[in-house]
Amino acid sequence: MEKKQGFFSALKEEVVRGLSPGRSQAKSTSRSVSPITSLLRRKKSGGNSNYVETVIARSGSLRPVGETLTPLMEGPDPDGGEIGDSKRLGSGLGQWVRGQLTRNPSVPGGAAGSNGSGYNKSSDMRLLLGVLGAPLAPVHVSTTDPLPHLSIKDTPIENSSAQYILQQYTAASGGQKLQNSIKNAYAMGKLKMVASEFETATKVVKNRNVARAAESGGFVLWQMNPDMWYVELAVGGSKVHAGCNGKLVWRHTPWLGAHTAKGPVRPLRRALQGLDPRTTASMFANAICIGEKKINGDDCFILKLSADPQTLGSRSEGPAEIIRHVLFGYFSQKTGLLVHMEDSHLTRIQSNGGDAVYWETTINSYLDDYRPVEGIMIAHSGRSVVTLFRFGEMAMSHTKTRMEEAWTIEEVAFNIPGLSMDCFIPPADLRSGSISEACELPRDERGKSAIALAASRAKVAALEGTHNESIDSVIWKVEV
């Protein structure tokens, strides 16, 4: 009964009563507060308990009635002290996430910068959240578009092979009919982020204690057809909000405020990491099969998707030009599921009369622990390794930063009654100008004109480390 008093019960009962996560913002002139904050703070009232039990049972992360396990703490102790048995039972995941998402971090006026060692905590967290918080997929896709019909005649073998692999993936993920019945979805998870290594031409600085330096947090993701999504992510006291109402993509960070993203409407990359098989299949609909490779001992087919020049041009801004953006998907030959995803894009920054500087961002994501939720296969854990490589100007002047993330999915539910478009309304204080991905790159003396827009409003959130027992066992050393 104590668990039913937690976050998920209150959230789902409110949704059943017709209060969507964004309903509270209608009375506000801006979305300075999260659209789910007021819902999280609302006291539990009467509701349909039978429905709540049914929805809670949907998630593959909860065990059926009858299995008895030793109670474990589901989140860090908010007081930071010793945790007794009674306190472990009383502090659930919902209470912990509520604390994460409703924290009010202090924001000093200093700009982001490196202290020379590559491990300034403030600049590291800004870089982590800027690159890993809410990255977008390379191209626009719509879940309303049907997958291409499998055709062999007059079709290159690379394309027909990719279509066949996607047919197998769709079937392994639950089938097209079941996936088409999903009108909206909700997911919640915990994660850890860390900047693990910084390299220059003359030295390599490694984080000696990665597990201790990692920042803990959580995220909530809502999706709704057609092409609407909203994510809220809190790590180490800083929060990132991002969303799409089907017509524009926006993001809010502590250092840039609310702004729209340049380029076409694109899906959230985090949803492609084993949470949304239908969007994933649509993303690779025009991909080609380029070969095979073993991933963690599993034979996989490789599908390659490249952003077209028009999309790249629309995402470029001023001196910052997106040269290429390529997405590779590795689909298991044994299970048909997506087990690995590699995302790489290259940006060229041409400062005033100076040499061009290039930034290559590569995100490698590994998807694990697939379990069915209402018949849909969902990856309940995974990890990402990011390499941010800067080169150009003169020889031997490159820098490389390595960042890592591990996540676990705690709750997933589909077709939430009462979820409305109010959840996906952009913030009222949204700036009219769009900002490109280059604004999230580290500041650079030679190329700072390319990110002057970011520098003029640079604010770095003061961070407070939190402790997360559940992901401490993750092995952070991942070879790419």
pLDDT tens profile 289-335: 999 999 999 999 999 999 999 999 999 888 889 999 999 999 999 99
Residues 6+ apart with CB under 8 A from 367: 273, 274, 337, 338, 339, 340, 341, 379, 382
Whether the predicted pLDDT of 231 surpasses 90: yes
Residue 73's domain comprises 3-101
104 burial type by CB count under 10 A (0-12 exposed, 13-18 middle, 19+ buried): exposed
Q: Which pLDDT does position 440 carry in this prediction?
A: 73
Q: Which pLDDT does position 368 carry in this prediction?
A: 97
476 lies in some domain: no
Three-class secondary structure of residue 258 per DSSP: strand
Whole-number mean pLDDT of the chain? 74
Whether the predicted pLDDT of 13 surpasses 80: no
Q: Which pLDDT does position 4 carry in this prediction?
A: 39
Q: Do the Cβ atoms of 257 and 236 come closer than 8 Å?
A: no
Please tell me whether residues 447 and 369 are part of one structural domain. yes
For the stretch 412-469, pLDDT in tens is 999 999 898 988 999 887 866 677 777 777 755 333 433 333 333 333 233 233 334 4
369, HSE (Cβ side, Cα atoms, 13 Å): 11
Please tell me whether residues 322 and 214 are part of one structural domain. yes
108 lies in some domain: no
Please tell me whether residues 282 and 209 are part of one structural domain. yes
**Crossing angle of helices 7-16/49-56, nearest 10°?**
120
Pairing state between β 434-435 and 257-261: parallel
Residues 6+ apart with CB under 8 A from 51: 12, 16, 417
Average pLDDT over residues 179-201: 93
Please tell me whether residues 129 and 265 are part of one structural domain. yes
Of 443 and 190, which is predicted with more confidence?
190
Whether the predicted pLDDT of 134 surpasses 50: yes
Q: Please tell me the distance from the alpha carbon of residue 270 to that of residue 242, in angstroms, as a whole number.
A: 12
Please tell me whether residues 174 and 249 are part of one structural domain. yes
Give the pLDDT band of residue 250 (cuts 50, 70, 90). Answer: very high
Whether the predicted pLDDT of 261 surpasses 50: yes
For the stretch 149-160, pLDDT in tens is 766 677 889 999
Residues 6+ apart with CB under 8 A from 17: 47, 418
Which has the minimum average pLDDT: 229-233, 286-290, 359-363, 420-424?
Answer: 420-424
Q: Which pLDDT does position 395 carry in this prediction?
A: 65
Q: E strands along 296-337, which residues?
A: 298-306, 320-332
Whether the predicted pLDDT of 183 surpasses 90: yes
Q: Where are the alpha helices (DSSP H) in 232-386?
A: 269-272, 277-283, 309-315
**Crossing angle of helices 93-101/7-16, nearest 10°?**
80
Amino acid at site 332 = S
Give the pLDDT band of residue 43 (cuts 50, 70, 90). Answer: very low
Please tell me whether residues 276 and 309 are part of one structural domain. yes
Structure token digits, residue 175: 């089938």
Structure token digits, residue 287: 């991909």
Of 133-142, 199-208, 362-371, 443-452, which one has max mean pLDDT?
362-371
Of 33-37, 161-165, 426-430, which one has max mean pLDDT?
161-165
Three-class secondary structure of residue 339 per DSSP: strand
Please tell me whether residues 353 and 429 are part of one structural domain. yes
Share of the chain above pLDDT 90, in %: 44
Please tell me whether residues 94 and 133 are part of one structural domain. no
Q: Taking Cα atoms as reference points, which of 103, 102, 104 lies closest to residue 39? A: 102
Domain count, the chain: 2
